[in-house]
């Protein structure tokens, strides 16, 4: 697995938001078959648009790596409540249904005091 080459944050980015600690989710989406990668790419623009429009979303990026079956993911949300709202929306989305079989090697971090 490759380390994160992107996802460098500007100064102050990791300060907690109002009302709680910032939530950051990062890692890799790992496709087991070429069809998984095709499904991910086919639903990616809509997923990114909807995720970035979620109130409290600070960043949402999914980018390819050197391996066509592995994608790097990073998301950050103002606080736990906004992250939970995002997760609820995603669970009912076409993106989630289409990418259900993709492995998610992700780390959740709470950042702040």
pLDDT at residue 20, rounded to an integer: 73
Task: Write out pLDDT tens, residues 61-86.
Answer: 999 999 999 999 999 999 999 999 99
Which sequence spans correspond to the domains of the chain? 22-111
Q: Which fold has domain 22-111?
A: Alpha-Beta Plaits (3.30.70)
Q: Which structure tokens are listed for 5?
A: 């080459």
pLDDT at residue 5, rounded to an integer: 35
Between 78 and 19, name the one with better pLDDT.
78
pLDDT at residue 112, rounded to an integer: 81
Half-sphere exposure of 60 (CA within 13 A, CB side): 20
What's 28-91 look like in SS3? Answer: EEECCCHHHHHHHHHHHHHHHHHHHCCCCEEEEEEEECCCCCEEEEEEEECCHHHHHHHHHHHH
Range 29-57 burial, b when 16+ CB lie within 10 A, else e = bbbeeeebbebbeebbeebeebbeebebb
Judged against a pLDDT cut of 70, whether residue 12 lies above it is answered with no
Across the chain, mean pLDDT equals: 85
Judged against a pLDDT cut of 60, whether residue 36 lies above it is answered with yes
**What would the mean pLDDT of 51-65 be, rounded to a whole number?**
95
Closest CA to 31 of 72, 73, 70, 74: 70
């Amino acid at each position: 697995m490759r380390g994160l080459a992107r996802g460098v944050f500007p100064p102050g980015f990791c300060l907690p938001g109002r009302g709680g600690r910032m939530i950051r989710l990062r890692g890799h989406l790992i496709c087991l078959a070429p069809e998984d990668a095709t499904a991910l790419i086919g639903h990616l623009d809509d997923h990114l648009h909807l995720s970035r429009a979620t109130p409290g979303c600070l960043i949402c990026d999914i980018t390819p790596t050197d391996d066509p079956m592995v994608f790097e993911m990073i998301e950050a949300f103002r606080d736990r409540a906004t992250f939970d709202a995002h997760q609820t929306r995603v669970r009912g989305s076409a993106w989630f249904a289409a990418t259900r079989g993709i492995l998610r090697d992700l780390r959740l971090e709470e950042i702040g005091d």
